[in-house]
Chains A and B, each alone.
Chain A
Amino acid sequence: MNGSHKQKDRLVIHMIKRDTISKPKEWGIRLIAVLLSLIVCAVVIYLITRQNPAEVYSGIIDGAIGTKRRAWVTVRESVLLLIIAVGLVPAYRMRFWNIGAEGQILMGGAATAAIMIYLGDKLPKSAILPLIIVSSLAAGMIWGLIPAIFKAHFNTNETLFTLMMNYTAMQLITYFIVYWENPKGSNTVGVINPATKAGWFPKVFGMDYFLNVLIVVIVTVVMTVYMKYTRQGYELAVVGESANTARYAGINVRKVIIRTMMISGAICGLAGAIIVSGASHTISTSTAGGRGFTAIIVAWMSKFNPLTMIIVSVFLVFMQQGSIQIATQFGLNENASSIITGILLFFLIGCEFFVNYSLVVYRERKED
């Protein structure tokens, strides 16, 4: 091939797809990847801050769970990432690339904020929370439904469609902010109902975020059952494997696409309510804050296994919160956490190759 006619040895690397892999080995590979990523992160942090990496990591742990307050924020952010990932699972099982979680979250958040602002002092507290939940589900559902209809009927590329829906949603939020801004002229909504706390998630058992966790646990359990044990869950998996097979089997593919995306969008909308009502009590274009994108990676890497999704969410949020703390400590800006997240993701994504393939290296005597 290369024109040489000499005898020479050459190293050949063959990639062989594994038929099976034992659980310990599979998780061993992932553990190695995590360790490597932590080393690279340490090097990066060291280069920027010139601090002893060991201290940096103790700083990260301190930042994530050092105080009761920080630990709760880590829990809050983890369950938030988890519910979005759970919401994306049905769509991805169906091989529908829903990149529009950001937009669906924003619309759910907008519905929540609207109710808090317009009905906060008109409705009794017992009525307002159910209304928030229902309307955020509906808002997210509509945002998921639109691209699904076009996918089902014209096979319109859903990746790009849902992506554009994100920015349409963002523009809508800036439109609402003009009407909702407080104080006038600030171009931000500010904390909604700070005095009455109308529409805020109430404290349960003295815990600020108990309700956040409870809702996410319920949704996760329900969706796991839905995916595993119901006819609809089975149907969408068949559509994901092969639309043609599904058609032969008598499944109405269009109906499944639309139904699944309504569910997926609705859960992401609910996540918007959890952010606005249960955490930030305000809304802005960065309310979703890239979580919709990170959650895609969480869902995909976990192969939709709920337990793995919990582990990955907690790990990513732990590192994010920790690095935000490090950044504040050194007066750097909080975007450091996106760099750390990015590095962790690259390693976690890359290591799946070594889970799926084994490398065989051998010498080959080549004669041309």
Chain B
Amino acid sequence: MNVLLAFIQGAIGQGITILFGATGEIVTEKSGNLNLGIPGIMYMGGIAGLMGAFFYEKGTASPSPAMGLLVSMLTCLAASFLGGLIYSVLTVTLRANQNVVGLALTTFGTGFANFFGGSISKIAGGVGQISVASTASAYRAKIPVLSGIPFVGKILFNYGILTYLAIIISVIVTLVILRTRTGLHLVAVGESPATADAAGINVNRYKYVATLCGSMIAGLGGLYFVMDYLGGTWSNNGFGDRGWLAVALVILALWNPANAIWGALLFGALYILYIYIPGLSRANQELVKMLPYLVTIIVLVLTSKRNKPENQPPASLGLSYFREER
């Protein structure tokens, strides 16, 4: 029972980062922007949150966890917004190729985060690894009373605030996309920008807003990783491939954030599965860690083979829209 409990909790812990990233990428992709900069933006969001908390805790005599949470969340959102803005200006206004810009942004964001993560304490005149224990304790605070319930409480209520926020955001985004006029317009922009434009929808504005919102949501994934998962510290390249897994999860979720919740849980489970399979040699563990990518490839092949219209990526995904070139 305890093993199962630890497995589920571990899977959720791994999955939440990916869920934030995937939800953000879905919002972005719905507008027709394939933002391959999301991994970089998640890095930027993570390090910015950490730096915000670091300078707050350093500059205040008795830092309060709640303020640390607020400050780090704001700096995280600001940095991810900036990342999304670079992407939008280059692809929407300056009409550059989306993949090229996205990859450049990921190079930039990863370097940005690893650079500051590795040197921030040195730049600030300190030594050793940074740690923002006070702020992290706010992120890691579990729901009181309810988390004490045996088993059910441990599975459902034993997480920090960002875990619940991830699920809430996914649900809200799903509702907005499926049930509101704004969502309908967004889908129209992604499916056929020319038609949307003719119907009087401001295509560029939708692309901008969707990309910026998507980036900020994804940035929270980086914040979750740094604050909740790592407990308020940094390890260079420790974030690893989670950003790309988020891009992969979009496919598995068939562009629906509600599916992404289950998908994230599955990816999280596959990510840590190697720990729970008894008798695995060290080499075979590495092969088991390959599963998330293989599953994504299989889903990718199956959806392209089946060709069901509702399971397809937005029709204009990856293409810039130029009114003059219709």
Contacts and interface: CB of A to CB of B under 8 A. Distances in A.
Interface of A: 15, 17, 48, 97, 99, 150, 154-157, 159-161, 163-168, 170-172, 174-175, 178-179, 290, 293-294, 296-297, 300-301, 331-333, 335-339, 341-343, 345-346, 349-350, 352-353, 356-357
B282 interface: yes
B95 interface: yes
A94 to B, nearest CB: 15
Contacts of A179: 283
B289 interface: yes
Interface in B80-133: 86, 89-90, 94-97, 99-101, 103-112, 114-115, 118-119, 122-123
B293 interface: yes
Nearest to B325: A17
B259 interface: no
A332 B283 contact: no
Interface of B: 34, 36, 86, 89-90, 94-97, 99-101, 103-112, 114-115, 118-119, 122-123, 236, 241, 244, 247-248, 251, 281-283, 286-287, 289-290, 293-294, 296-297, 300-301, 304-305, 313, 318, 324-325
B103 A332 contact: no
5 contacts: A160-B248, A168-B297, A333-B118, A337-B111, A338-B108
A350 B286 contact: no
A290 B286 contact: no
Nearest to A295: B103
A328 to B, nearest CB: 12
Given A159-B34, A349-B101, A352-B96, A338 B114 contact: yes
A332 B95 contact: no
Contacts of B283: 175, 178-179
B115 A171 contact: no
A178 B89 CA distance: 45
B101 A156 contact: no
A171 B293 contact: yes
Secondary structure call for the A interface = helix
Given A156-B301, A338-B107, A350 B96 contact: yes
B204 to A, nearest CB: 12
A150 B304 contact: yes
A296 B34 contact: no
Secondary structure call for the B interface = helix
A357 B95 CA distance: 10
B112 A339 contact: yes
A164 B103 contact: no
A48 B112 CA distance: 12
A175 B105 contact: no
Contacts of B123: 48, 332
The 3 closest A-B pairs by CB, nearest first: A338-B111, A342-B108, A333-B118
Contacts of B244: 163, 166-167
A295 B160 CA distance: 41
A341 B286 contact: no
B104 A346 contact: yes
Contacts of B36: 99, 159
Contact of B94 (A99, A170, A297, A350): A350
A3 B91 CA distance: 31
B280 to A, nearest CB: 12
A168 B304 contact: no
Contacts of A154: 301, 304-305
Q: Which of B89, B94, B105, B118 has the most CB of A within 10 A?
A: B94
Contacts of B90: 346, 349-350
Nearest to A333: B118
B34 A290 contact: no
A116 B254 CA distance: 44
A168 B286 contact: no
Contacts of A155: 304
A167 B241 contact: yes
Given A150-B304, A333-B236, A349 B119 contact: no
Q: Which of B118, B281, B286 has the most CB of A within 10 A?
A: B286
Contacts of B94: 349-350, 352-353
A290 B43 CA distance: 15
Contacts of B241: 167, 170
B108 A168 contact: no
B99 A331 contact: no
Given A156-B301, A336-B111, A349 B96 contact: yes
A297 B97 CA distance: 10
A145 to B, nearest CB: 14
A299 to B, nearest CB: 9
Given A333-B236, A339-B112, A345 B293 contact: no
A223 to B, nearest CB: 20
B285 to A, nearest CB: 9
Contacts of B114: 333, 335, 338
A333 B107 contact: no
B126 to A, nearest CB: 13
Given A157-B304, A159-B34, A332-B115, A175 B103 contact: no
A167 B107 contact: no
Nearest to A343: B108
A294 B100 contact: no
Contact of B287 (A167, A171, A343): A171
B115 A333 contact: yes
A207 B278 CA distance: 52
Nearest to A331: B122
Contact of B100 (A15, A168, A300): A300
A290 B107 contact: yes
B282 to A, nearest CB: 5
Nearest to B296: A164
A338 B300 contact: no
A159 B317 CA distance: 12
A160 B108 contact: no
A174 B286 contact: yes
Given A168-B290, A342-B107, A350-B90, A335 B300 contact: no
A334 to B, nearest CB: 8
